[in-house]
Amino acid sequence: MAALRAPSPPEKIAICHLVSGDRWAGAEVQVAALLRKLVQRDELVLSAIVLNEGRLVKELRSSGIEVRVIPEASNGFFRILREAARSLRGRQIRIIHSHRYKENLLATLLGWWCRIPFVVRTQHGRSEPFRGLRRLKHGFLQSMDRFTARYGTDRVISVSSEMQMHLTQYVDDRRVVTIHNGLEIERVKSGLGIAEAKEILGIPCNAPVIGTAGRLEPVKRLDIFWGVAQQVAVRQPHVRFVIAGTGSQEAQVRSWTEKHGLAPKVLLLGQREDICDILRALDVFVLTSDHEGLPTVLLEALWLGVPVVARAVGGIPEVIQDDVNGVLIERADASAIAEACLSLLKDESRRKRLALAGAKTVSEKFTADQTAGEVAKLYASLCGVR
């Protein structure tokens, strides 16, 4: 009788992520969370090529992920391409997964040059408006990005169903899949109570606090936030406003603060590493953007129990149900947002109800474990691995 053969070990899939690490914003937080979860899966072998040193590199390396850094400042596009190809050769990479415009083009070329079977990209957000020469340059990059998405990419991951509809205007809908962003809920926490968090920021513990966080860029519509601040401050004299983040509109934000006499009531915090403690200090979190993919900071605010008032744009309505786990505003209307904030500030029981429902939504539908599971299934389906 022939001896029974031991079952073959499951095939491992080698994947390399290609991402820029020049900042620490929503996309980079999502990349770090995803890779930390994926590296725990026995069927995957992960590595990353990151185009700049920064917090993302530190986060990945601390999780045991092999990282090759190719600094953009000292390397032009074709040198980056050559150095990345040198890193990938002989490693039997099955999938290269990119995350922004430049990396998407690099990934397409590397897939061809290094004979990597599959190219995947994640679309974290839609393109932002620019003016002048930047508009021309960005328009060219966007055209190249669409071309490579259409002809050089096997799967495009959209972080929201709304964005998927936009992507299928120029990519075969069979190659676009929605996988929502997820939160590492075990890492998103604050050891502070609300009063203590306010005190650390120099805010009286009994003062209502309305805040926002993110890149200070035109798409975030901070002009609407200032309209909200002006109207709320008239009717709630003790209110304080908090803005965390940096960007091209930082100087303009400071100018608005002084121009409208709000300086004593406003804290401009810049880039913060302790965003969970900042969110803990808020009584209401506000998002006024013209567009969002599926913002990480929204999920963080919900998980930390902060009531949310947000415009119904991008993927936000896929998370927020109006007056169930937050408040949705359909228009770019500072008055409507201000009224929603004032209503919440006056109704503590409603704030608590929305906060509990928001945290439940995140735990049930938007965790990094769920996101990583869906991405791993996608990798397996591409490679024909069960």
Per DSSP (E only), the strands in 126-256 are 155-158, 176-178, 209-213, 240-244
Matching residue, tokens 């990353």 = 48
On the question of pLDDT at 129 being above 90, the answer is no
Q: Determine the number of helices (DSSP H) and then strands (DSSP E) in the chain.
A: 14, 13
Residue 136 has a pLDDT of 66
At 62, give phi and psi (nearest 5°): -65, -15
Cα angle 145-44-181, degrees, rounded to a multiple of 5: 50
Give the highest mean pLDDT range of 13-22, 242-251, 354-363: 354-363
Q: What is the mean pLDDT of residues 44-49?
A: 96
Q: Which amino acid is at 168?
A: T
Q: Which residues contact 13 (CB under 8 A, 6 or more apart)?
A: 43, 44, 45, 94, 95, 379, 380, 383, 385
To the question of pTM greater than 0.85 for the whole model, the response is: yes
On the question of pLDDT at 5 being above 80, the answer is no
Count of other CB atoms within 10 angstroms of residue 245: 23
Question: Which tens digit of pLDDT belongs to each residue from 322-338?
Answer: 999 999 999 999 999 99
Residue 141 has a pLDDT of 76
Cα angle 124-125-128, degrees, rounded to a multiple of 5: 145
Q: What is the mean pLDDT of residues 31-39?
A: 96
The overall average pLDDT reported for the chain is 91
Q: What is the mean pLDDT of residues 8-32?
A: 86
Question: Which tens digit of pLDDT belongs to each residue from 257-300?
Answer: 887 788 889 999 988 889 999 999 999 999 999 999 999 999 99
Count how many Cα atoms sit within 13 Å of the Cα of residue 71 in the half-sphere of its side chain. Answer: 4
Integer Cα distance of 376 and 1 in angstroms:
40
DSSP secondary structure, 65-126, as one string: -EEEE--STT--HHHHHHHHHHHHTTS---EEEE-SHHHHHHHHHHHHHTT-SEEEEEE-SP
Residue 296 has a pLDDT of 95
Give the residue among 321, 319, 327 at the shortest CA–CA distance from 300: 319
φ/ψ region of 13 (left if φ > 0, alpha if ψ in -120 to 50, else beta) reads beta
Question: Which tens digit of pLDDT belongs to each residue from 164-174?
Answer: 999 999 999 99
On the question of pLDDT at 8 being above 50, the answer is no
Please state, for a pLDDT cut of 70, what percent of the chain lies above it: 94
On the question of pLDDT at 316 being above 60, the answer is yes
Q: Which domains does the chain have, with CATH numbers?
A: 13-182+367-383 (3.40.50.2000), 194-365 (3.40.50.2000)
Length of the chain: 386
Q: How confident is the model at residue 143 (pLDDT cuts 50, 70, 90)?
A: confident
Q: Which tokens go with 303?
A: 């998980």
Residue 1 has a pLDDT of 43
Matching residue, tokens 């539908």 = 365
